[in-house]
Amino acid sequence: MRKPTDFEDLFDIAAGRKGGAAAFEAILPVMKSPKELAKIPDDRWLSTMARCVFQAGFNWKVIETKWPGFEEAFDGFQPTRWSMMSDEDLDALLKDTRVVRHAKKLLSVGENAIFLRDLAAEYGSAASFFADWPSTDQIGLLKVMKKRGSRLGGTTGQYFLRFMGKDGFMLGGDVVTALIREGVIDKDPTSQMDQAKVQEAFNHWAEQSGRPLAQISRTLACTVG
Taking a C-beta distance cutoff of 8 angstroms, is the pair 151, 52 a contact? no
Taking a C-beta distance cutoff of 8 angstroms, is the pair 221, 175 a contact? yes
Q: How far apart are CA 90 and CA 186, in angstroms?
A: 43
Task: For residue range 100-119, list pLDDT tens digits in order.
Answer: 999 999 999 999 999 999 99
**CA-closest candidate to residue 134, choices 185, 191, 199, 219:** 199
Task: For residue range 25-65, list pLDDT tens digits in order.
Answer: 999 999 999 999 999 999 999 999 999 999 999 999 999 99
> pLDDT confidence of 178, banded at 50, 70, 90?
very high
pTM: 0.95
- Tell me how far apart the 2 most distant CA atoms of the chain are, in Å: 57
Please check the confidence at residue 209 and state whether its pLDDT lies above 90.
yes
Mean pLDDT of the chain: 97
Please check the confidence at residue 1 and state whether its pLDDT lies above 90.
no
Percent of the chain with pLDDT over 90: 97
Residue 162: its pLDDT value, please?
Answer: 97
Task: For residue range 120-159, list pLDDT tens digits in order.
Answer: 999 999 999 999 999 999 999 999 999 999 999 999 999 9
Taking a C-beta distance cutoff of 8 angstroms, is the pair 4, 204 a contact? yes
| Cα dihedral across residues 119, 120, 126, 131: positive or negative | negative
SS (H, E, C) the chain: CCCCCCHHHHHHHHHHHCCCHHHHHHHCCCCCCHHHHHCCCHHHHHHHHHHHHHHCCCCHHHHHHHHHHHHHHCCCCCHHHHCCCCHHHHHHHHCCCCCCCCHHHHHHHHHHHHHHHHHHHHHCCHHHHHHHCCHHHHHHHHHHHHHHCCCCCHHHHHHHHHHHCCCCCCCCHHHHHHHHHCCCCCCCCCCHHHHHHHHHHHHHHHHHHCCCHHHHHHHHHHCCC
Taking a C-beta distance cutoff of 8 angstroms, is the pair 149, 136 a contact? no
Q: How many CB atoms lie within 10 A of CB 124?
A: 11
